[in-house]
Structure 1
């Protein structure tokens, strides 16, 4: 299913969420001049949670980065249907660009990059003892949420949904369909990895039923509002798609780099869960955590494929990078060793894959040309 740009919502839903702006934490902005840091930042920065666009910036000169290579990157982005692009260092903006008629205030679909939001929210629900990821999914979805026998269904856990290891048949006509007749037995859980969207989508119902609260409401209370994000999940067909500004995606990147802490406020306190979420979660696809994509592993699998490929997921990128990756090249990259967050929103570059694509390696080639110091 292809998700068009943000204006697609206008005829689908009636919410307090316009085609270009949402009435929330970052709208009705006062226009504040950027606060430019001329020294190399060493402390983490958290943009204010208020009705303002204030966000500290740091110069290329202060970082010693190669600003002369920026035009090449921007040309590449523009040629590949990019709408928004941001690089943060220690939470501060180094580069922020919008293309065409897309602006800072416009909302864009995250597509499968929104899986990371659900993964973190699952950890919060577990920390609050609403659920345990080792629980059978049927506890929260009810018996008969699949076409399996009760015994087979009981073997599928929330963790299987988080790690794409449910064993449900991904060869059905509609891989997104969450109706019981679409969820059929193929293999035992934990015996195969496949990027199957339907079991993931049902995690939203698992969380909502566990906490006895609307999914959007719980997400807003636990993640969105505490870190100053805006945006909302919208049901489109079988999918639950998150829409927000590029800066809101960047805020979530900062939260990840700070391991679930926002300027002294704990969003996710369970470090065992956070570490499991952002590291290899099973031995079937080493480049996959709890709905997070991981670089620097010995091998990886890709959506729509049963093949295993040798080497790093993104060879040009730092090996400790982990990411939220969505269809049509929605990208949220996080690099702990370099305190970097990189956001890219737009249309498909040259492919329409569900997550990783050749675009990842190409863009990181250009980014590293900017970040790396020239050889004397």
Structure 2
């Protein structure tokens, strides 16, 4: 029996090693597939890169579009002044990268999801019931107004990023009054994300925090372009201010597409990736957007509602940011898509872009 089990284990290990050795990884950079920028992608290009009107700044304004299939580039285009070497502001895509960084910290045993935030960030003792998983679901229950352009004078996020809260963004959020019980209501909040960044600082201590994103995540993935701003207190602006090239952001997507594994190293636990991709049941549908998971956005429907992006597979998930920034991951299709943009109106459609990408990559199959 022992010999049989050993032979079976060795056989599975051999198969796994063979599969891993056949995978494409960006080492040191992405390779291109044979069909890159082929005619099959003209419909994608026509939608994403429509002529720009620089006077009114309306319409679909894509700065970069990068599509990775099976670990290789199948489409890549940029609009000046953005290039393949330009670190682009990701806006709220930063939140999902922060969640990925936290996944490495959890893999290292630094916290549990049900830990109170106050364990790592003492100013949250005024809200002792709020747990890390509540922040990851944007469900702290703290009163928050996320609007930018619609109501800037009443906006919590504008005050946090640009006025009275900008010196210490987590401290500004920590003293917000409670609006609901923690974990019971989804309310999108950049403040929740910056509390997570402060909690991570408490887990690590000041001697390790500054370099931790690079040591734990960026360097293992081969990311060299990342710039992550901090507020005046020294805490990462985890909600908004990460810059990265499209090719480097795609590395984060590939890590997530392959369930937290980078070559032979399991940087994220598979249970962490599953948490990121699990629908937060207390969410309220937001027409035109995806639904929240663990600090990622999911193409899964809430009860009684349609799938947010009906032409994309149900397992599609994404990191989304202001003015059209997006990192889409389509695991079943082995696709990673990065879009950087400067959209100022509501004309862009996630579903339309993904529908065209899926059609193009299907046409490009041998």
Matches within 5 A, 1:181-200: 183-200=176-193
Check the 8 A contact 1:174/1:182 in 2, yes or no.
no
For 2:245 and 2:173, the matched residues in 1 are separated by 34
Deviation at 1:373, TM superposition (A): 4.8
Q: 2:86 — aligned with what? A: 106
Structure 2 gap ranges (5+)? 1-20, 51-59, 147-153, 161-168, 286-290
Q: Give the SS at the match of 1:235.
A: coil
Deviation at 1:43, TM superposition (A): 4.1
Check the 8 A contact 2:107/2:267 in 1, yes or no.
no
TM-score under structure 1 length normalisation: 0.74
Structure 1 gap ranges (5+)? 1-41, 300-308, 352-356
Which residue of 312, 315, 333 corresponds with 2:307?
312
For 1:46 and 1:256, the matched residues in 2 are separated by 13
2:203 equivalent to 1:222: no
Check the 8 A contact 1:163/1:282 in 2, yes or no.
no
Q: Give the SS at the match of 2:349.
A: helix
Q: 1:166 — aligned with what? A: 140
Check the 8 A contact 2:70/2:334 in 1, yes or no.
yes
2:37 equivalent to 1:72: no
Q: Which moved more, 1:91-100 or 1:67-76?
A: 67-76
Q: CA deviation digits over 1:298-341, x for unaligned, max 9? A: 45xxxxxxxxx821121121221111111111111111101000
- Of Structure 1 and Structure 2, the greater helix share is in 2
Deviation at 1:59, TM superposition (A): 2.2
Q: Give the SS at the match of 2:338.
A: strand
TM-score under structure 2 length normalisation: 0.76
The one of the two structures with greater contact order (alpha-carbon pairs below 8 A, sep at least 6) is 2
For 1:295 and 1:315, the matched residues in 2 are separated by 8
Check the 8 A contact 2:326/2:340 in 1, yes or no.
yes
Q: Closer, same or farther in 2 for the Cα pair 1:169/1:211, shift >3 Å?
A: same
Which residue of 287, 297, 300 corresponds with 1:293?
297
Q: Which moved more, 1:192-201 or 1:341-350?
A: 341-350
Check the 8 A contact 1:320/1:336 in 2, yes or no.
yes
Deviation at 1:190, TM superposition (A): 1.7
2:96 equivalent to 1:116: yes
Q: CA deviation digits over 1:255-305, x for unaligned, max 9? A: 11111111112211x222221112214343583211111113245xxxxxx
Which residue of 82, 93, 97 corresponds with 2:77?
97
2:35 equivalent to 1:60: yes
Q: Give the SS at the match of 1:102.
A: coil
Q: 1:205 — aligned with what? A: 198
Q: Which moved more, 1:132-141 or 1:165-174?
A: 165-174
For 1:46 and 1:225, the matched residues in 2 are separated by 14
Q: 1:45 — aligned with what? A: 24
For 2:357 and 2:104, the matched residues in 1 are separated by 33
Q: 2:165 — aligned with what? A: none
Q: Closer, same or farther in 2 for the Cα pair 1:86/1:181, shift >3 Å?
A: closer
For 2:297 and 2:273, the matched residues in 1 are separated by 14
For 1:318 and 1:140, the matched residues in 2 are separated by 38
Q: Closer, same or farther in 2 for the Cα pair 1:78/1:236, shift >3 Å?
A: farther
Check the 8 A contact 1:329/1:348 in 2, yes or no.
yes
